Amino acid sequence: MIRIGPSGSTTQAKSTLEAVGIVADMGLGALEVNYVRGARASEETTRKVGQRAEERGIALSAHAPYYVSLNSAREEVRESSVDHIVETARRCHWLGAPFFAGHGGTYGGLESDEATDGVVERILLVQTRMEEEGITGVKVGLETTGRPSAWGTLEEIEAVADQVDVVIPVVDFSHVHARTGGSLRTEDDFRSLVDWALGVSDCLLYGHFQSIQYGEKGEIRHLPVDAWDPDFRLLAPVLQSLECDVHLICESPLLEKDAILLKNLLEDEVG
């Protein structure tokens, strides 16, 4: 099944609980709950959101805080980053959300292999704490990043997923596009990336989409989808050919409007 929705909320909603209903009324099927400034929502509020989503047929995911930095030179930052990820996993458990997205942070002055080892070490701690708390059925999604200064290439994420059972990749198509100087140019380019993700995550595609402005140092800023860079019209036939679950979250400035745009592209492809 293909589910598409906005990140965080909608331009109309005053709360996540309200956003669930608005997204459902629009005919969308997903919502990513944003904990990017901290996973602090109460258990009661979080469970209410999860219950409303189940009632309205909305698939939930979440996004961990932006300030996670698993390879920080400061031990207290590394430790707090593990805490932030566990807090997000805990709320996903309350929400009934099977996965969430998060960033690894910068390389912290380390080479790629050393930084990846550091991410493995810290995410293993996350996995242990999740097991101790009885947080089951929740996957930690590591997101591809849009700048060479940030940890999160395909190879790095796959290396962690190979060593930590709880990890899956989160494919941000535009981040990959920006980091590689605009590599998503054909349908085959999109298909290759999707096939990689499905192989690593066992037939699940969890991703983010938006157009993007980029330069020599990678990502500059998110743009509306109809800037067509990358061109998601090329992704539509790839998605329609899949027999795996797809959960795509719009992170463009237009949120639900662009989520509907991609949904309509897929429906046109079927038609």
Total length of the chain: 271
Tens of pLDDT along 96-108? 999 999 999 999 9
Tens of pLDDT along 219-231? 999 999 999 999 9
Q: What is the 3-state secondary structure (H, E, C) of 142-199?
A: EECCCCCCECCCHHHHHHHHHHCCCEEEEEEHHHHHHHCCCCCCCHHHHHHHHHHHHH
Q: Which two tokens stand for residue 63?
A: 């996004």
State which CATH number among 3.40.50.300, 3.60.150.10, 3.20.20.150, 3.40.718.10 fits the domain covering 2-270: 3.20.20.150
State how far the Cα of 210 lies from the Cα of 219, in Å rounded to an integer.
12
Range 145-174 average pLDDT: 97
Judged by phi (left if over 0) then psi (alpha if -120 to 50, else beta), residue 109 lies in: left
- Amino acid identity of residue 56, one-letter, is R
| Total-model pTM | 0.95
**pLDDT band at residue 269 using 50, 70 and 90 as cut-offs:** low
Domain boundaries, the chain: 2-270
Tens of pLDDT along 117-147? 999 999 999 999 999 999 999 999 999 999 9
